[in-house]
Amino acid sequence: MKLAIVHDFLNQYGGAERVVGYFLRAFPEVPVYTSIYFPDDTFNLFRDENIITTFMQKIPGIRKYYKKLFFLYPYAFRSLKLYDYEIILGSSSSYSHFINKCRDSVHINYCYTPPRFLWETKSYLEGEKLSNVSSKIIMPVIYYLRKMDLKHSKRIDHYIAISKYVRSKIKKVYNKDSAVIYPPIEMEKYKFNKIKEDFYLIVSRLKGYKRIDIAIKAFNILRKKLLIVGTGEDESNLRKISGENIKFLGSVSDRELTDLYSKAKALVFTGKEDFGLTPLEAQASGTPVVAFEEGGAVETIVNGKTGFFFNKQEPEILAMIIKRFEKNSLDPVKCRENAERFDFKNFKRDIKDFVESVYKEKFT
């Protein structure tokens, strides 16, 4: 089987980049095609892999201006020469599905979400904090790219969604069905601990759409200890509204993070995410989750057994659910057992079975 992996860009330590690493463990020595690759800005595992980039890699200042040049990415992916491959496994939330392929090859798209900047434009632009003038200038380009996006979606042979929530998005935007294969975690990396300390934990990029402000306001009401791991452009605003019971830890090492996960009373998850790995990482450590009841979290948390949900993104509602959580003892063992469903061994089996079945159907 001649297989290639195509990913949007390798320039950050993100969940999608982790998944590409898992693809490479399922399909060793397969080339990875991507628009740009900055080795120092992403996982070291890619340094020993065959990474092929586009013309965008050579643009002067690309490291600084890669976001502003968003209109070039579709053309960058269309320039890739992928005609020698039978199976193309895409990893996409934005641009990589714009590739051209030969008529006889099969394009499988592992979709994290239909591009938010195209299909959830208002909330996306609010998160980027663009001026009204900049937003108005961008909109004609957005409309043009939407047409391109719909056109190229018709060329994708199979969609795999990262959650049922994303599956519904794919159906709504592209009118296509998709299988669901959840992104994995590696259970052995997490320290299981039944004994919890008296603090709550947030692990997140500090961006507006993550709604960390809700948790801060709730914990200002509760006066309980909240530790926040992560950095981002919203950090200064969040610090301004935080009481003395709330501590910002910034970036921490993997070892420190696993220790925090294992000792926290609960993880607090306030955003609406397409999947969300941190609730699983917490549960793998035996730590329950208090989460907003929308998006992928609904699929990874068992309400009343491995966590509790709040149904409105309002501080008073979250504070009320935290109080309810404290009156109920949740079993760390059940949290760990629930996370086991998402272990890498299951992901590896499922993604290999899917790709191999597609190959057999087409080429044997």
Residues 267-297 have pLDDT tens digits of: 999 999 999 999 999 999 999 999 999 999 9
For the chain, domain boundaries: 3-184+344-363, 187-340
Q: Is there a common fold for 3-184+344-363 and 187-340?
A: yes
Residues 111-169 have pLDDT tens digits of: 999 998 899 887 766 655 556 656 677 888 889 999 999 999 999 999 999 999 999 99
Spatial strand order in the sheet of 106-111: 51-52, 32-34, 3-7, 87-92, 106-111, 158-161, 178-180
State how far Cα 255 lies from the chain centre. Answer: 21
> How far apart are the C-alpha atoms of 284 and 187, rounded to whole Å?
6
Q: Give yes or no for a contact between 264 and 249, defined as CB atoms under 8 angstroms apart.
A: no
Nearest to 359 by CA among 34, 85, 91: 85
* pLDDT given for residue 131 in this prediction: 60
Interaxial angle between packed helices 132-153 and 164-174, expressed in degrees from 0 to 180 and rounded to the nearest 10? 90
Q: Give yes or no for a contact between 208 and 188, defined as CB atoms under 8 angstroms apart.
A: no
Give yes or no for residue 331 having a pLDDT over 70: yes
With a CB cutoff of 8 Å and minimum separation 6, the contacts of 223 are 243, 245
Residues 2-41 have pLDDT tens digits of: 999 999 999 988 889 999 999 999 999 999 999 999 999 9
Question: Tokens in use for 194?
Answer: 């039944």
Identify the H or E element spanning 310. Answer: strand 307-310
Mean pLDDT of the chain: 94
Q: Give yes or no for a contact between 209 and 126, defined as CB atoms under 8 angstroms apart.
A: yes
Residues 225-255 have pLDDT tens digits of: 999 999 988 999 999 999 999 999 999 999 9
CATH 3.40.50.2000 applies to domain 187-340: yes
CATH 3.40.50 applies to domain 3-184+344-363: yes
With a CB cutoff of 8 Å and minimum separation 6, the contacts of 142 are 117, 118, 121
Question: Tokens in use for 350?
Answer: 């499922």
Q: What are phi and psi of 122, to 5 degrees?
A: -60, -50
| Residue 29: DSSP 8-state | T
Q: Give yes or no for a contact between 330 and 267, defined as CB atoms under 8 angstroms apart.
A: no
Residues 33-72 have pLDDT tens digits of: 999 999 999 999 999 999 999 999 999 999 999 988 989 9
Query: For the whole model, what pTM was predicted?
Result: 0.90
Question: Tokens in use for 132?
Answer: 């009204």
Q: Is 102 helix (H, G, I), strand (E, B) or coil?
A: coil
With a CB cutoff of 8 Å and minimum separation 6, the contacts of 297 are 269, 273, 276, 279, 289, 291, 309
> How far apart are the C-alpha atoms of 159 and 18, rounded to whole Å?
19
Give yes or no for residue 319 having a pLDDT over 70: yes
Higher pLDDT, 205 or 8: 8
* pLDDT given for residue 130 in this prediction: 59
